[in-house]
Amino acid sequence: MTNDKLHRAVQIIKEAEVFIITAGAGMGVDSGLPDFRGNHGFWNAYPAYNRLGLSFSECATPMHFIKDPHFAWGFYGHRTNLYRDTTPHEGFQIIKKWIERNGADYFVVTSNVDGQFQKAGYDEDRMYEVHGSIHWLQCQARCHDKIWHNDEVFRIDETTMHAGDPLPECKVCGKVCRPNILMFGDYAWLHDRTLAQNNSFNQFLKQNSCRRIVVIEMGAGEAIPTIRKISERTGGLEHSTVIRINPREPRISSPHISMTCGALVGLKQIDDAISFDQVNETLV
Ligand SMILES: [Zn+2]
């Protein structure tokens, strides 16, 4: 990254009145979460599925909750445990520090279902989880429209990736329930919670559209471009600039800024430059 680009990123962050944080799967990598990109990444994280010859999209379908719920919860129970046990990396705190220092407002948009922003102390009411959250459950048969907290305990046999009994059930119809997240080929996802979050986000943008906005996008790839599109749309507002941090697909047109690196490295680089700037200001 050129000094000029870094200097601009520093200025934009120092002057921002509103932070829109947009995150894709790459955001979790620095916390030690597996990267499901391509079969290689997925099978590295889950060798059992490699042995079974199943890709991520073949594991992440609602069909398994009907045909083999122990197998289905083997996958989602393992991920629930993993996300509960993970500590969000320092980058989450760096952005929070910038927001607090500026006295700025913020909103988080994420395609991750892992709840890591809430875990890092971000406000549940400033969250738009576009694919839902693994920490909420719903009936697999949609016998009713309520969702509820995932407080279940999962024990997984990591050789077979099957979950042990008891499996969580819908209290109304007694069928095994499922996480409230959008899967592949999914016609049963209850999207009311995500829709309400989307409405809050749109309302937030409307109220803040004239202020100085920085969009910080991290680890959002082109394969499922939902997050990138939201970043670019928000970056199209009058006083809004996107900082796209991505090690593989960093491209974005000027005046937006791209950084070819992982989330934590990029955020630290900017934060170090801000600190350096402040030291210089003090000396002056
Ligand atoms: Zn039910």
Q: Please provide the distance, in angstroms rounded to a whole number, between the alpha carbons at the two ends of the chain.
A: 27
Distance 80 CA to ligand 1 centre (A): 21
Distance 180 CA to ligand 1 centre (A): 13
- Surrounding ion ligand 1 within 5 Å at CB are 139, 143, 170, 172-173
Distance 61 CA to ligand 1 centre (A): 18
Residue 259 burial (CB count, 10 A) = 25
User: What does the alpha-carbon distance between residue 88 and residue 80 come to, in Å, rounded to a whole number?
Assistant: 15
Distance 145 CA to ligand 1 centre (A): 9
Distance 176 CA to ligand 1 centre (A): 8
Distance 146 CA to ligand 1 centre (A): 10
Sequence-separated (6 or more) residues with CB below 8 Å from residue 274: 10, 13, 14, 98
Per-residue pLDDT of the chain (284 residues; tens, 9 = 90+): 678 899 999 999 999 999 999 999 999 999 999 877 777 889 988 999 999 999 999 999 999 999 999 999 999 999 999 999 999 999 999 999 999 999 999 999 999 999 999 999 999 999 999 999 999 999 999 999 999 999 999 999 999 999 999 999 999 999 999 999 999 999 999 999 999 999 999 999 999 999 999 999 999 999 889 999 999 999 999 999 999 999 999 999 999 999 999 999 999 999 999 988 777 777 65
Q: Are 182 and 61 in contact (CB under 8 A)?
A: no
Q: Are 211 and 239 in contact (CB under 8 A)?
A: yes
Distance 110 CA to ligand 1 centre (A): 28
Please report the pLDDT score of residue 284 as a whole number.
Answer: 57
Distance 191 CA to ligand 1 centre (A): 16
